[in-house]
A and B are shown apart, each in its own frame.
Chain A
Amino acid sequence: MPKYQAKELKATRLGFGEALVELGKENPNVVVLGGDVTGSVRTDLFMKAFPDRFFSVGVAEQDMMGTAAGFAVAGKIPFASTYGEFAVGRPFDQIRQSIAYSRLPVKICASHCGITVGPDGATHQSLEDLAIMRVLPHMTVATPCDYLETKKMIHASIKWNHPIYIRFFRDNTPVFTDPAATFEFGKADTLIDGKDVTIISCGLQVWEAILAEEVLAAEGISVRLINMHTIKPLDNEIVIKAAKETGAIVTAEDHQKHAGLAGAVAEVLAWHQPAPLESVAVNDTYGESGRGDELMRKYGIAKDDIVKAVRAVLKRKK
């Protein structure tokens, strides 16, 4: 049995949409911007509940980011949401100048991220967004691993007075986190303790890592599993501690291998506490159409790939 159970299947994007409605009730300053994909990113829920505080900007992501910045100048709490590729790739300059450099607490909420968005193909599979957002000074970058954590993260975001990028996903995925667990940006969660190796994972790969741990535990390998929900500011301490105590690290993410979670962890290891590192991620390529689960296997980011990476890193461990 895996150490965590999937209580049900629910989409992270639904957690986002529901949390927005809850926040809308609590705080009259919350406003939501729509870029014509509201049904997909689930801002339709807020739009129906609070039509006066929902603003359509059309399919115009550059304008959406600028408009959100303007709302923040006026003291509002703006959420700008669309698909990951269009939330980051299209309006990078707007995010850099009008949000990050201007240090405005805009919430950029990106759904449909990663290769698991599936059938839409490579143009819609955002695999570079963590890297692009992570490099911006002032920007917080976070990605929840299930529906429940998404809700907690969105609730926490309105008290987080920084520009923030939150990355979530389309598919219905296992809900497994503890409803009672507290959430804090920049403080990673140790889901399973262990001493031989540490898997640092984020987003949907946290569940894959839970499944992988079951296989490895049966082989007698003691795995520590960390949910690194905040990519920036990264929880350096937990990485350094893991490197010291377990001596080998594996990262797992639905993102390019370069400059995302793997890159962030590699930096900490190289600068503070060298340890062998293997990374499960999309390896410098674009995706294609297919089902999410098929693509995870084909592009090497599924449970079995994590198991292999752990075996590989253990061979390198001194």
Chain B
Amino acid sequence: METLNVTELHEMARQIRRDIIKMLMISKSGHSGGPLGLADIFTSLYFNIMNIDSKRPNMPERDYFFLSAGHLCPVWYATLARRGYIPLTELSTLRKINGRLQGHPAPAYTHGVPGVEIASGALGQGLSIAVGCALGLRLDKKPNRVYVLHGDGELNEGQIWEAMMTAGHHHVDNLIAIVDRNHCQIDNRTDKVMELEPLADKWKAFGWHVLECNGNDIEQFFKTMKQAQQLKGKPTVIIAQTYMGKGVSFMEDDYKWHGVPPNDEQGKQALSEILPTKYGDFIEFEWEKSRPVGIEV
């Protein structure tokens, strides 16, 4: 698929931030902070890094992407829409009945969002899935890469560490994990809820290559990813430092924005701070009155 250059990536990330705000204003429910912080990473992955084709979401040679922290899905849905996997107007349907854009991602063949391989929402499950998928691809000597994205709070889950061991043990080097290190989780700062540091050393000790970067700097993330793709012999994790709520002054770096949507006033304020782009906002429609997409009941 056609990729975007750096200037365009910046603009697309900004548009995806606008989309997230608008989606959450419509749904009046959902997670704001994490998705805003990840717009740069998702834009880079879907518009430059991964080998994908939105017209053939299940093409055998695709790179696989798993969102382990399912609550971050507003940024995923917005990115999938901007990349052409789903109609842009469908972003109006987040969390609405009979819609495909479930509050946490549903598998493609029950709810039909192309590009979503498996359900997520209960935390900590995505790394195991990514490892299994990567091992399966390796068995077939396929060149596909597997990407999986984790929240940092999610690393509290024990299954993550089981899967880290498994990936290290089997030297799964067609796998790149990304940790969204925004230091925030629903209750508080991550170091208040459960200390994660020294995080890089922990991954290293489990047999991983560890790279760190600023996840809100598209060029730096891009360079780090290129470096990750060259590493062999072990799985690689990129610990990406991001800011929760990035782009909206009153949300930035504030854990209280983990799980709530902006109200109308806050949403308007946010949209005034995230400047419009050449890509244009999606057109809202009243889902309850008109259901052009989605599953039949």
Contact = CB atoms under 8 A, between A and B. Distances in A.
Interface in A65-100: 65-76, 78, 93-94, 96-98
A53 B139 contact: yes
Interface stretch (B2-10, B75-83, B125-133): B125-133
A112 interface: no
Contacts of B126: 66
Interface of A: 31, 52-53, 55-58, 60, 62-76, 78, 93-94, 96-98, 101-104
24 contacts: A31-B136, A53-B139, A58-B165, A58-B169, A60-B159, A60-B166, A62-B125, A63-B128, A64-B128, A67-B132, A67-B135, A67-B166, A69-B132, A70-B133, A70-B135, A74-B135, A74-B137, A76-B136, A96-B122, A97-B121, A97-B122, A101-B106, A101-B110, A102-B118
Given A65-B128, A70-B129, A73-B118, A101 B107 contact: yes
Interface in B91-111: 106-107, 109-110
Contacts, number: 115
Given A68-B132, A98-B128, A102-B110, 17 more contacts: A55-B135, A55-B170, A57-B166, A58-B165, A63-B165, A65-B128, A66-B127, A67-B131, A67-B166, A70-B129, A71-B136, A73-B64, A74-B134, A97-B119, A97-B120, A97-B122, A102-B118
A69 B136 contact: no
A71 B133 contact: yes
A75 B107 CA distance: 15
A94 B158 CA distance: 12
B225 interface: no
Nearest to B135: A55
Assign chain B's interface to a size class. 20 to 34
B133 A58 contact: no
Given A73-B118, A97-B119, A97-B120, A66 B125 contact: yes
Given A63-B163, A104-B118, A76 B129 contact: no
B131 A70 contact: yes
Contacts of A66: 125-129, 131-132, 159, 163
Nearest to A94: B125
B119 A102 contact: yes
Contacts of B120: 97
Interface in B112-164: 117-122, 125-137, 139-140, 158-159, 162-163
Contacts of B119: 97-98, 101-102
Given A60-B162, A66-B159, A71 B121 contact: no
